[in-house]
Amino acid sequence: MSKLEPTEKEIAVGEFKVNYATAGNGEPVLLLHGSEPGESWKVWEPLLALGDSRKLILPDLLGYGGTSKPSETPDHKGQARMLRDFTEKLGLSSLSLIGGGWGGQVAIEFALEWPESVSSMVLIASSYDTEQLPRLQKLRRPTLVIYAEDDMVTQMKAGYLLRDAIGTSRLEILGAVARDPRYDFRMSHRLQKFRAPQVLQLARSFLSNPAGMITEPPETENELRGQALRKEDDKDAAVWKKS
């Protein structure tokens, strides 16, 4: 079997059964999917090439895929607690986190609660809880934040808020997904699928040298920030005119 071919497994974590896949070898990376219906570890298949230098661990979160489905799906805090038990059971004392959408919010919570276990993070179109932002100032973990210009689910301004809250971070803004007629605005939220080559390249470079990458911000970042804020201002003005 190829080292990049995922192997699916199941493990008991407290009262739950957690379904997960692994691929590759090397330093461990935990990849956390989002909250859209039908999500599972398989949303990460476009990025499995990361396994050529890392051991990828891809769980189905509680309520998703083949993992136990409680009567109420736990929030990001409950998911983080489950993942803490999950990683301890696998004997993982230090790892990197990659989270997409709501999975990014879960990753943030995990890193805030157990920072000693997290070496770096990649947040892809990540959501967040406003309560998390002030706590992030103390995190001090290298973090790559990736958004798309036209994401209507977690708007680009959120990327700057996360970038500013995490002092040791770098923000990358990818091109508009919805300019491709095959994809709509909601699709732009799932960059690991619809911008897989760019996300893969960024994640690979970052994981190979997290500290080095965050010390060299892109030259266009100030320009992109201005674009994001202007878009937010235009949107607010449009809402004001309707009210």
- Residue 136 binned pLDDT confidence (cut-offs 50, 70, 90): very high
Q: Does residue 205 form part of some domain?
A: yes
Would you state the pLDDT for residue 182? 77
From the number of C-beta atoms within 10 Å of its C-beta (0-12, 13-18, 19+), residue 4 rates as middle
- What's the helix, strand, coil split of the chain in %, to 5? 40, 20, 35
**Within a domain: residue 98?**
yes
Count, residues in the chain: 243
User: How many Cβ atoms from other residues are within 10 Å of residue 223's Cβ?
Assistant: 11
* Residue at 186 is within a domain: yes
Q: Provide Rg for the chain, Cα atoms.
A: 18
Q: Is residue 130 situated within a structural domain?
A: yes
In 3-state terms, what secondary structure has residue 90?
coil
Beta strand 16-23 with 27-32: parallel, antiparallel or unpaired?
Answer: unpaired
Stretch 65-86: mean pLDDT: 97
CATH of the domain at 119: 3.40.50.1820
Bridge pairing between strands 54-59 and 16-23: antiparallel
**Under 8 Å between Cβ of 98 and 59:** no
First to last CA, the chain: 60
pLDDT band at 234 (very low <50, low <70, confident <90, very high): low
Q: Give the angle subtended at the CA of 39 by the CAs of 37 and 44, to the nearest 5°.
A: 155
- The pLDDT tens digits for 156-204 are 889 999 999 998 999 999 988 877 777 776 776 789 998 999 999 999 9
Q: Confidence class of residue 214 from pLDDT cuts 50, 70 and 90?
A: confident
| Triad 3, 201, 90: Cα angle to 5° | 40
Residue 87 falls inside a structural domain: yes
Write down the pLDDT at residue 154. 78
Q: How far apart are CA 181 and CA 196, in angstroms?
A: 17
Q: What is the DSSP string of 101-163?
A: THHHHHHHHHHHH-GGGEEEEEEES----TTHHHHHTTT---EEEEEETT-SSS-HHHHHHHH
Let me know: does 98 contact 128? Beta carbons within 8 Å: no
Which one, of 72, 127, 90, 89, lies nearest residue 105 by Cα? 127
Structurally, how many domains does the chain consist of? 1
* Residue 224 confidence (pLDDT): 47
Whether residue 215 is predicted with pLDDT greater than 80 in this model: the reply is: no
Which structural domain, as residue segments, surrounds residue 45?
7-242
Would residue 11 count as lying in a domain?
yes
14 inside domain: yes
**Spatial CA neighbour of 40 closest among 58, 23, 56, 60:** 60
Per residue in 26-49, pLDDT tens? 999 999 999 988 899 999 999 999
Mean pLDDT, to the nearest integer, of 200-211?
Answer: 95
Rounded distance between C-alpha atoms, residue 3 and residue 6, angstroms: 8
Q: Using one digit for the tens of pLDDT, what is the confidence trace for 101-135?
A: 999 999 999 999 999 999 999 999 999 999 999 99
Is position 209 within any domain?
Answer: yes
